A and B are shown apart, each in its own frame.
Chain A
């Protein structure tokens, strides 16, 4: 069975440019998460979806970040415009859903962003 797929794996852009990351969760997983991970830190939640609904986006910097999960399957995270401090790894994860949350999230390999 395929795991969580993310693309691109690496992205280098200049500041003020836009960037988008794509995630395809494990088939059947209703819950999808976007996390940000800085070097030497743990993952920090940006947004959580239950199907196509964003149920927790309190940590998403809405002035420059946006996300969508239009059909309740794959998702896109966008940053526009990117700033130097956005350099990090953007991790997508999926799980079977809130009611069956055993604490196991399945993460993708991440998209490593470098902003110059």
Chain B
């Protein structure tokens, strides 16, 4: 079983839609979590950190549920430019980052 698991998708949604991705992690010792975005044939870039209390950055909301060991990312009012792969990342031992396989999002007009 992978340490960080995601549904690979693709999620095909129309512009303006709300879409949510989930990610599960197996190691309860994971300390911190992040969402990265990776455009096609580009490098991954940090999108946002995930805090226990939940956090919001514009149209993006990240949530952490430690009891169930899952992380979510909600995107409201999807834009064409949101089309990308979203990577869930867990931090272990303060220095080891484990990436999920990524969830591909395609927003269509």
Bitwise interface map of A from 94 to 116 toward B, beta carbon under 8 Å scored 1, else 0 = 00001101111101111000000
Main SS class of interface, B: strand
CA distance A95 to B94 in the complex (A): 13
CA distance A101 to B4 in the complex (A): 19
B94 to chain A, nearest CB (A): 6
Known A43-B99, A48-B95, A98-B94; judge A103-B32 contact (CB<8 A): yes
Report yes or no: A102 in contact with B100, Cβ–Cβ below 8 A.
no
A56 at the interface (CB under 8 A from B): yes
B101 at the interface (CB under 8 A from A): yes
Selected interface stretch from B13-21, B39-47, B64-72, B76-84? B39-47
Residues of B within 8 A of A40 (CB): 8, 101-102
Q: Which of B32, B45, B87 is A42 in contact with, Cβ under 8 Å?
A: B87
Report yes or no: B102 in contact with A91, Cβ–Cβ below 8 A.
no
CA distance A101 to B19 in the complex (A): 29
- Tally of chain B residues near chain A (CB < 8 A): 23
A48 to chain B, nearest CB (A): 7
CA distance A34 to B10 in the complex (A): 27
B82 to chain A, nearest CB (A): 19
A45 at the interface (CB under 8 A from B): yes
Report yes or no: A42 in contact with B101, Cβ–Cβ below 8 A.
yes
Report yes or no: A45 in contact with B102, Cβ–Cβ below 8 A.
no
- Report the 4 A-B pairs with minimum CB-CB distance, sorted nearest first: A42-B99, A107-B43, A103-B34, A98-B95
Question: Footprint of A on B, CB under 8 Å?
Answer: 4, 8, 32-34, 42-46, 49, 87, 89, 91, 94-102
Can you list 19 A-B pairs, Cβ within 8 angstroms, ordered by A? A41-B102, A42-B100, A42-B102, A43-B99, A48-B96, A55-B95, A98-B94, A98-B95, A99-B94, A101-B91, A101-B94, A101-B95, A103-B33, A103-B46, A103-B49, A103-B97, A104-B46, A105-B97, A109-B43
